[in-house]
Amino acid sequence: MNTKALLMIIFSALVFSCSPDSGAGEGIKEEVTFEFEQKERTITTGDSFDLFTVLKQVNVKREDIQWGVDNNNIASLSGSVVKGVSGGETIITAKIKNTNYLTRMKLIVRQAKLKFRQDKLELIVNKNYDLSKLLDFSGVEINQLNWVTSDNGIATVDNSGVVYSRREGEVKVVVYVKGTSVKAEIRLIVFKDQLIDIVFESETIEMYAMESASIPFKTIPEGASLEGTVWNVDALKRVRVVKPGVLYGDMLETGTLVVTLPNGRKKSVTIEVVSKGISEIRAPYGLNVDMYEGSKERLEFVLFPIGEDYEGLEFKIDNSIVSVDKDGMIQSTVGKRGIVNLNVRSKKNPSVSLDMKIEVRSFAEYVYVDVNFDIDKYIGDLYSGQGDISIYKMAIDDFTISNFKILDGNKRVIYSDSGTYRLDHYYTVSFDKIYKPYMEFTLTFKGEKVIRREELKAQIFGDYRMILGYK
């Protein structure tokens, strides 16, 4: 056997021994792992990353992987590097060549937008200002922003957007999204500390009554001192200036605030004082109310802020002998007397309240007697004389008097009038040696009757004259 034939036999034997079909290699296969570690990822337009950083692969060669993207208008591929092109969603595909191995990942691309709400900012020397408060942005996180100024000698800016003015001058402040061309810029003009103007937030500013209110405005340049400004609130009756920029008012009203600047310029704004609800309730006539059965009476309150009305109040009672309506009108019932506890509180601020007591008395207690009677003779308990007895009530109401009598101590009727009369009414009476006289009469109000008795007794008037009074 020649050398060439021997080598062929040896080569054939080696090939046969490594084949998957040989008994020596049976059951031995390489296990393949091939999948995206993330099923979804979000990036910003202009951002890019290597897909291998999110692909888990075992027993797979990099050069055997094919990459694909469903929508090239949203994302582009350069090898394994994907880059956001415009806002939207697409699918990234990774596939092993000549196999069925395939894995997918959703890619969300956010459209990064940056824009300052104003073109310039005027700031005084040695002041800080947070420029991020003027920046509108979307599709990007705050920590993805980078800030720079065109001249650090005039102003510097830190990574959070806070600018610090160093000396007078003008610079450009630029903020951009790291790794992209998306950016926004604003002019920064640095002045010495001298107020040029103030700008109110709106033409009409609302402030809450019963608390100090900071009026929203900005100075030009930003941070300029308000020293020398004059704040005039003459057009507002109950508003006062606590300090420049801070007002206090306790009445619901609308008026004009005028600010005079040191340079003579006047700026004005409409101030509207509004309420958070009743914050204080006062009862000017006290916490106790007396009224007679069957009558009406309105509760009187002083409410703060001034201008609030009873619509902002709630009334709660613990006894149904009276009712209270939304306007604070108390209505008692004829024939029902007693004490009612009343709680008055603010609807919006329930902790603001008053506890009151209402006592409902007999209507007869509100009828008065006036005796104008001259006594000619007074011997012991015997009376002689003549005069008038008047029965009246202070307010006009439907009270009547009937069955008026004067009796002596022996219950003998001296004078009688059985008629029924509206109050006020008076009776003319004369006595001749009457023993311990007293009067008795019937009062009627809305069907309720009360018999009242009053004792007549001599009283000295002046040095000599004696009159008849009652107890």
Calpha distance 300→289 (Å, rounded): 10
Cβ(101)–Cβ(91) below 8 Å:
no
Q: Is the pTM of this model over 0.75?
A: no
Considering the four listed CATH numbers 3.30.420.40, 3.40.50.300, 2.60.40.1080, 3.30.70.1560, the one that applies to the domain covering 280-361 is 2.60.40.1080
**Secondary structure of residue 409 in the 3-state scheme:** coil
Architecture of the 113-191 domain: Sandwich (2.60)
- pLDDT at residue 372 greater than cutoff 70: yes
Backbone angles phi, psi at 145, to 5 degrees: -95, 145
Q: What is the DSSP string of 134-202?
A: GEEEESS-GGGEEEEES-TTTEEE-TTSEEEE-SSEEEEEEEEETTSS-EEEEEEEEE-S---EEEESS
Whether omega before 424 lies within 30 degrees of 0, making that bond cis, reads yes
| Token duo for residue 15 | 């090939």
Lowest mean pLDDT among 108-112, 247-251, 304-308: 108-112
Mean pLDDT, to the nearest integer, of 443-466?
76
Q: What is the mean pLDDT of residues 316-326?
A: 95
Would you say domain 197-274 falls under CATH 3.30.70.2660? no
- Which residue carries 């800030």 as its tokens? 147
The continuous run of DSSP H or E covering 450 comes out as strand 448-461
pLDDT of 3 higher than 50 = no
Answer whether residue 143 shows pLDDT above 60: yes
- Per-residue pLDDT at 46: 80
More confident residue, 199 or 397: 199
Distances (CA, A) of 156 to 133, 160, 162, 165, 174: 17, 12, 8, 7, 11
Split at pLDDT 50, 70, 90, the class of 56 is: very high
pLDDT of residue 396: 67
Quick one: pLDDT at residue 435? 87
Residue 470 CA to residue 452 CA, distance in Å, equals 13
Please compute the mean of the pLDDT values over residues 328-341 and round it to a whole number.
95
SS3 429: strand
CATH 2.60.40 is the classification of domain 366-470: yes
- Identify the pLDDT of residue 14: 36
Residue 26 pLDDT level (bands cut at 50, 70, 90): very low
Cβ–Cβ contacts within 10 Å for residue 348, how many? 13
Cβ neighbors of 282 (< 8 A, separation 6 or more) are 301, 302, 303, 304
Which has more pLDDT, 404 or 179? 404
- Break the chain into its structural domains and give their ranges: 33-110, 113-191, 197-274, 280-361, 366-470
Burial class (CB in 10 A: 0-12, 13-18, 19+), 13: exposed
Are 291 and 358 in contact by the 8 Å Cβ rule? The answer is yes
> Mean pLDDT, the chain, as a whole number?
87
CA gap 315, 35 in Å, rounded: 70
Using a pLDDT cut of 90, give the percent of the chain over it: 68
How confident is the model over 13-26, as a mean pLDDT? Answer: 35
Query: Three-state SS for 103?
Result: strand
CA distance 282 to 353: 9
What per-residue confidence (pLDDT) applies to 254? 95
User: How big, in percent rounded to 5, are the helix, strand and coil portions of the chain?
Assistant: 10, 55, 35
Q: Which pLDDT band, with edges at 50, 70 and 90, does 388 fall under? A: confident
What is the pLDDT at residue 96? 93
Share of residues in the chain with pLDDT > 70 (%): 90
Whether pLDDT at 468 is above 80:
no
- Can you tell me the mean pLDDT for 400-416? 93
The top-scoring range by mean pLDDT among 191-200, 316-325, 424-433 is: 316-325
Average pLDDT for residues 170-176, to the nearest whole number? 95
Mean pLDDT calculated for residue range 227-241: 91
- The model's confidence at residue 192, banded by pLDDT at 50, 70 and 90, is confident
In this predicted structure, what is the pLDDT of residue 43? 85
Confidence band for 4, pLDDT divided at 50, 70 and 90: very low
Q: How many CB atoms lie within 10 A of CB 328?
A: 16
Q: Which CATH class is domain 33-110?
A: mainly beta
Q: Indicate if 113-191 has the same CATH topology as 33-110.
A: yes
Please report the DSSP string for 368-389 in residue order.
EEEEEEEEEEEETTEEEEEEEE
Give the residue from 445, 458, 467 showing the smallest Cα distance to 365: 445
Instruction: Give whole-number Cα distances, 203 to 3, 134, 268, 452, in Å.
Output: 107, 20, 9, 70
